[in-house]
Amino acid sequence: MTAALPDGPALPDGASGASGPLPLVVVPGMLCDHGLWTDVAFPEHHEVHHIALTEPDIGRQADAVLSTVPGRPFVLVGLSLGAIVGFEVLRRAPERVAGFCAMSTNAGAPRPEQYAAWRAMDALIAEGRFEEVIEQTLPGMFDVTEPPGDLADRYRSMAHRVGPDAARAQLAAQATRSDAHDTLRTVRCPTTVLYGTRDALCPPEFHRSIAEAVPGARLSAVPGAGHLLPVQQPASVSAAVRDLLGTAKRTQPAL
């Protein structure tokens, strides 16, 4: 017999529950959904829970993450806004996070020009011009401003599945961010910080500051990759998650 798990493989009897393999909670970035991770080979026999970004507040989104696997430790994987939600999860319930992978992200507070850009995008969506927002954001997603058609179409498809209402909630959530470096200095779980060397939205120095704040964090660069690492370099993401899970398992206290 097997026990079916949400969004993940079935586990043998006895392998589910608090004593089984650590579940993965996976959070995408803005205008992305579970399709971001299609080519990532998550390790077998681990639950994989895909989180949708639908709350207009970082704190409420963090609570949604924590309620996904109530009372259990988990490994958190987040990209961009998803990692920012992860910072808040670590602030609220550090004991729940057995491992953390932050990729393509920024732990700093929003800058004035970002607030202005988010307000402008929200106004476009409110006017029914969601397609324009998708096209405005597309050039920053990959290592080139005019990505190949298949990559561009994959991003557009995710954005349309997310839809204008959730997109507006994500923009509102971005505006509730705060600097996370003080929280990161208190993190004690195994942490991997992964970035593409050609990420125009979140350049290498953002990731170096995160890794410097978290004691013992592992900083890994993916040469030539842009913002959407799981799309461009799924093998690198797969390897990072696999290694993080192994470290998290070794450092978990015995039950």
139/155 Cα distance (integer angstroms): 11
pLDDT tens digit sequence for 79-124: 999 999 999 999 999 999 999 999 999 999 999 999 999 999 999 9
What gap in Å lies between CA 41 and CA 96, rounded to an integer? 24
Distance CA 20, CA 252 (A): 12
Instruction: Answer yes or no: is 53 within a domain.
Output: yes
- Residue 117, in any domain of the structure: yes
Do the domain assignments include residue 129? yes
Asked if residue 27 belongs to a domain, the reply is yes
Query: How many domains would you assign to the chain?
Result: 1
Domain-located, residue 46: yes
The CATH number of the domain holding residue 188 is: 3.40.50.1820
Q: Decide if 67 is inside a domain.
A: yes
For residue 20, what pLDDT band results from cuts at 50, 70 and 90? confident
The pLDDT tens digits for 37-84 are 999 999 999 999 999 999 999 999 999 999 999 999 999 999 999 999
Residue 137 lies in a domain: yes
Residue at 82 is within a domain: yes
Higher pLDDT: 211 or 8? It is: 211
What's the CA gap between 58 and 65, in Å, rounded? 11
pLDDT tens digits for 133-162? 999 999 999 999 999 999 999 999 999 999
- Residue ranges making up the domain that contains 101: 22-250
Q: Using the predicted structure, report yes or no on whether residue 8 has a pLDDT greater than 50.
A: no
Residue 19 has a pLDDT of 59
> Stretch 158-175: mean pLDDT, rounded?
98
**Look-up of token digits 């600097």:** 179
